[in-house]
């Protein structure tokens, strides 16, 4: 990466990535609800309409199936597309073009054709948004062959993973979290990629491995700092990509520490944490010095009460408590 950097928020890092890619590829399209109103998608679309025009930045009707189908169809015919869903929950209406068409297209065509589309879903939490506006559905899409799933945790990775997703020749689910939008860090100005399928160790440790992604990675880092004050050395692994998993890096870390806690923003049953737990158990069970523990949402829909939300959503205190129960 270039040393030419400056402070940039998470949302503006995504915006810069799309600006740079639309300048690089004159066929690249951005479609979605609210792209004409930058505030609607958290400034991630600021300035795009003015620079690239309404033939490439297309504010769609509220019809998730139709707008996603249009993006997939455009991608198949040679116009790569980014389709933004400001609330991931309503991607449910677009299952047919995502799962039946985009995910299967390259396989059914024997690799001779592809669907280079980024399906960008934004998770919204808290704020009394309740069950139909708060769902983190990354595990659902990770289950589907043919789909890659990325989930950045910081501005640098948000830009690099968005660029990598746009350049990928096949469909990528870009899992976004609105809780990250105001997070700032030093972001390189140049065009760069964060490789899809490569995790990162954000903090080295020797006592226990903590694996997380997206917003909860930030809570995991807070927990690791608190644990360090109590002489517990936690190694923090940022998945970056949920599918394909970086199995080698996860296993290497667990071999070193012998203990593993997986922190996931989705539900516990049949989720990302379950997949990682199974993978580690199948591959390096003899290296484990304690049972694997998982922290994820309880198997209930999100509540609409702000009081209940404080219990429902997990954070650094929950991570610290779980780690101590193991050590």
The catalytic residue positions are 64, 133
SS3 for 206-263 is CCEEEEECHHHHHHHHHHHHHHHCCCCCEEEEECCEEECCCHHHHHHHHHHHCCEEEE
The tokens for 62 are 């509220």
| Cα–Cα distance for residue pair 253/201, rounded to 1 Å | 9
The tokens for 147 are 């789909």
CA angle 82, 83, 86 (to 5 degrees): 130
Instruction: Look at the block and give the residue holding tokens 């991630």.
Output: 44
The tokens for 114 are 């592809």
| Cα–Cα distance for residue pair 75/71, rounded to 1 Å | 6
The answer to whether the beta carbons of residues 196 and 172 sit under 8 Å apart is yes
> Which residues are CB-neighbours of 110 under 8 A, at least 6 positions away?
none
Among residues 267, 136, 293, which one has the least CA distance to residue 214? 136
Among residues 143, 147, 196, which one has the least CA distance to residue 167? 196
């Amino acid at each position: 990466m270039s040393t030419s950097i400056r402070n940039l928020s998470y949302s503006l890092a995504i915006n810069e990535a799309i600006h740079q890619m639309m300048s690089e590829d004159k066929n690249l399209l951005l479609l979605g609800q609210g792209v004409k109103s930058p505030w609607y998608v958290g400034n991630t679309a600021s300035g795009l309409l003015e620079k690239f025009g309404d033939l490439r930045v297309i504010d769609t009707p509220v019809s998730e199936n139709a707008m996603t189908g249009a993006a997939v169809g455009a991608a198949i015919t040679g116009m790569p597309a980014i389709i933004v869903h400001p609330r991931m929950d309503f991607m449910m209406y677009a299952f047919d073009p995502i799962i039946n068409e985009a995910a299967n297209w390259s396989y059914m065509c024997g690799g001779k054709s592809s669907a280079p589309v980024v399906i960008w879903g934004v998770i919204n939490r808290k704020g009394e948004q309740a069950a139909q506006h708060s769902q983190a559905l990354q595990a659902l899409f990770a289950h589907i062959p043919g789909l890659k799933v990325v989930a950045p945790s910081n501005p640098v990775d948000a830009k690099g993973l968005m660029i990598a997703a746009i350049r990928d020749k096949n469909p990528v689910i870009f899992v976004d979290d609105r809780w990250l939008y105001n997070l700032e860090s030093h972001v390189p100005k140049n065009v760069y990629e964060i490789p899809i399928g490569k995790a990162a160790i954000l903090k080295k440790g020797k006592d226990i491995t903590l694996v997380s992604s997206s917003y909860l990675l930030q809570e995991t880092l807070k927990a690791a700092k608190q644990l360090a004050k109590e002489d517990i050395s936690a190694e923090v692994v940022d998945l970056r990509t949920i599918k394909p998993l970086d199995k080698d890096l996860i296993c290497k870390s667990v071999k070193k520490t012998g203990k593993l806690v997986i922190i996931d923003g989705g539900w516990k049953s049949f989720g990302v944490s379950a997949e990682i737990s199974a993978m580690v158990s199948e591959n390096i069970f003899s290296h484990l010095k304690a049972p694997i523990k998982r922290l994820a949402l309880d198997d209930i829909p999100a509540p609409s009460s702000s009081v209940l939300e404080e219990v429902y959503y997990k954070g650094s205190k929950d991570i610290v408590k779980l780690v101590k129960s193991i050590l």
